[in-house]
Structures are given as C-alpha cells and as structure tokens.
Amino acid sequence: MTANDADIGPDLTPDNMLCFAIYSANHAFSRVYKPLLKDLGLTFPQFLVMAALWVEDGQNVGAIGEKLCLESSTLTPLLKRLEALGYVTRNRDPDDERQVRVNLTVDAKKLRKKSLAIPGCLLAASGMTGKDYMALQRNVARLRDALLESAANPP
Amino acid sequence: MTANDADIGPDLTPDNMLCFAIYSANHAFSRVYKPLLKDLGLTFPQFLVMAALWVEDGQNVGAIGEKLCLESSTLTPLLKRLEALGYVTRNRDPDDERQVRVNLTVDAKKLRKKSLAIPGCLLAASGMTGKDYMALQRNVARLRDALLESAANPP
DNA sequence: CGATATTATATCGTACACGATATTATCGCG
DNA sequence: CGCGATAATATCGTGTACGATATAATATCG
C-alpha cells in the first residue's frame, strides 16, 4: 500500500467505500428519524410504508414491496404491526382472494398531517441546500437503479 | 397536491425522499454484494468488519464499532460468527481485561487477497466513472456526518 | 373441465441493528 | 486500601430483512 494508491480507485478501506458511506448514512438517517417518529409510534420502515400508502391508498402487498424494494416476508409482519397500531386495515381482495389490500384508517390520515413537517426537519439536519439535497437524491436513486439492474443481470 | 409541489421542496413521496434513496441504495448494494461474498462465506456487515480489520488489525470491539457506527450488541454476535468461520480470534486484553482484542487469522489474510477485486466489481455495477463514484462517496459521507452531528445535538 | 403452472401472501430460519440492562474490570478519591 | 463511579463488553427483547419454502387462489392449456 503506497501513499497514492487511493488515487487510482476504490480500495478496501471502509472510509473510501461508497457502499459504506451509503450503509452508514442509512443508519444516520434512522437515528435522526427516531425522535421525530417517536410521537407517531412508528419505526422508519413503517413510516416508509405509510408514505407509500399516502401516495396511493389501497395497494396490495406486492405493489408496496415493489415500490420500497421489500419482500412479503418483511412486509407481512410489518403490516400486521401497523394494523395493530390502528393505521391500516388488511383485507383479501374479493375479486382475487390471493391479494391483500392495505387501506389507510382515519388515524392514518391524521398522521399524515402531523408528518408533513418531517421532510423539512431532515433537510435541516442534512446541513444542505434544498437544491443540493434534491440533486443528491437523484444521484443516489440513479446509483440504486444501476445496482439493481446489475444484480438482476449479473455480468 | 399540485403539479409543481415537487419543486418547492421535499414531500412525503418515497421517490422524492433522500432517506428512501439511501435506504434502497443500501439494499441494492447488499444485493450486488451477495454473490461476490458467497464464495467467502461472509455477509455484507461481516465484510465491512473484515475491511476495518484489514486497515488495522488487533482493534477492540469499541474501536470497530466507532469506525462502522455499530454497537456492541451488534458486533459481539457478529464477531462470534467471524470467529466460528475462522477469520478472527477474540481475546481479552491482558493489560485491560474489559477490552476484547480482535485479531485476524492467516485465513483472513488470504481472504483479503481474494477481496481485492470486489471494489472494481462494485464500481462496474454502479455504471459510473471512478471520478463520479468517488465524488458521490464524499457527498454521502458528508451527509452522514451532518446527520450524526444533528442526531447527537438535536436542534 | 380438469391437471398443471403460475401468482400472491405467509411462515420459518438466520442475521443484522438498536436501546436498555447486566456484568465485570479499572479508576479515582478519600 | 476500599468503595463508588466509570468504562468495555455481553445479554435480552423487539423489529427489520432476506432466501427458501408452504399454502391457497387463479390462470392456462390440453
């Protein structure tokens, strides 16, 4: 390992690895979210599921999983917890009994109003301008899509 | 919700949230890593611990946790698995019996050589140039540090 | 129309990940 | 020296996460 090896590409030092930056930023987001979600009684993944349902109510488990990149083995227990909290209902679709429709409750709609302040808190915690924040969002989303594409079609 | 609400700042749509981009990119990295680590018998977090030890052997649990932002409740079982795999040894420091020194085995050093190709695979999977890749790494690391700072000193 | 394939969820086993707490070792101060 | 405070690791309970598999409903094709 010579002094300028770091210049020629990624190495095995966590601090130089993009995957570690993403991994640790994910944990850091969870940590910032924790007190904000405490009042709502939600975890961060539960909040993401609620956010997906606020965009479109009445999705089935598969649609939510597709949007959030999660499997039914993760979502089924999580949705049962949201149901126990009184934020969603889970019902088999009468037209196709294989599917489970997830619907928001009245409480969930109240929750949405309380959550509207959260994105601003996150932006503030990032110390970034809105412009840089959204640009980074797009770059990371593009990276994610390229990685998923590569994982699905291994070289 | 009007058509240009997206222009005035972050909202509650997962696809517009930086936290979701990071969250899903983290999962995507795991997915790309899985086949690469399969041969080595490691999970992604285990690989990160190995990488931290390749930078500096003989660290104690706390030092590893500080570098990777992980608690002893996560690391202790993980390190026991790495020990069972024959990649590390765990020994109480004779000078301070509270600390557990984690040392690499001979196998771990062979593993390092086999791992040197991995960062290049990740870069290729990202579809990015090395320059952009490293720039994104720095931006995400900066974001993480700002979030951790904010979590530690809430506004 | 009925056997087979496919699809949608659910369940199970393993592995993170954290907060709260327990345990043991060291330190500091009288 | 001894005793309370502090520090390092481990343990426990809860909640993700995934791959493999199970189960049940629908679709397909002869």
Q: Quick one: pLDDT at residue B6?
A: 43
pLDDT digits (tens), chain B, 155 positions: 444 444 445 689 999 999 999 999 999 999 999 999 998 999 999 999 999 999 999 999 999 999 999 999 999 999 999 999 999 999 999 999 999 999 999 999 999 999 999 999 999 999 999 999 999 999 999 999 999 999 987 76
* Alpha helix segments (H runs only) across chain B: 18-38, 44-55, 61-68, 72-84, 106-115, 118-126, 130-152
Under CATH, to which class is B18-137 assigned? mainly alpha
Q: Quick one: pLDDT at residue B152?
A: 87
Distances (CA, A) of A40 to A23, A69, B106, B134: 25, 23, 50, 37
Q: How far apart are CA B100 and CA B60, in angstroms?
A: 5
DSSP code, position B15: G
Are B122 and A18 an interchain contact pair (Cβ–Cβ within 8 Å)? yes
Is any atom of nucleic acid chain C found less than 7 Å from the CB of residue B69? yes
Which residue in B140, B84, B6 sits closest to A16, CA to CA?
B140
Q: Quick one: pLDDT at residue A152?
A: 87
Q: Quick one: pLDDT at residue A10?
A: 64
Domain boundaries, chain B: 18-137
Topology, domain A33-115: Arc Repressor Mutant, subunit A (1.10.10)
Q: Quick one: pLDDT at residue B3?
A: 45
A28 touches B28 (CB < 8 A): no
Residue A146 scores a pLDDT above 60: yes
Q: Quick one: pLDDT at residue A153?
A: 79
Question: Which protein residues have their Cβ less than 7 angstroms from some atom of strand D?
Answer: A 43-46, 69-74, 77-78, 81, 95-98; B 23, 27, 30-31, 34, 60-62, 65, 71-73, 75-77, 79, 90, 96, 98-100
Q: Quick one: pLDDT at residue A1?
A: 45
Higher-pLDDT residue of A153 and A88 is A88
Are A10 and B134 an interchain contact pair (Cβ–Cβ within 8 Å)? yes
Distances (CA, A) of A76 to A56, A82, A84, A130: 18, 10, 12, 35
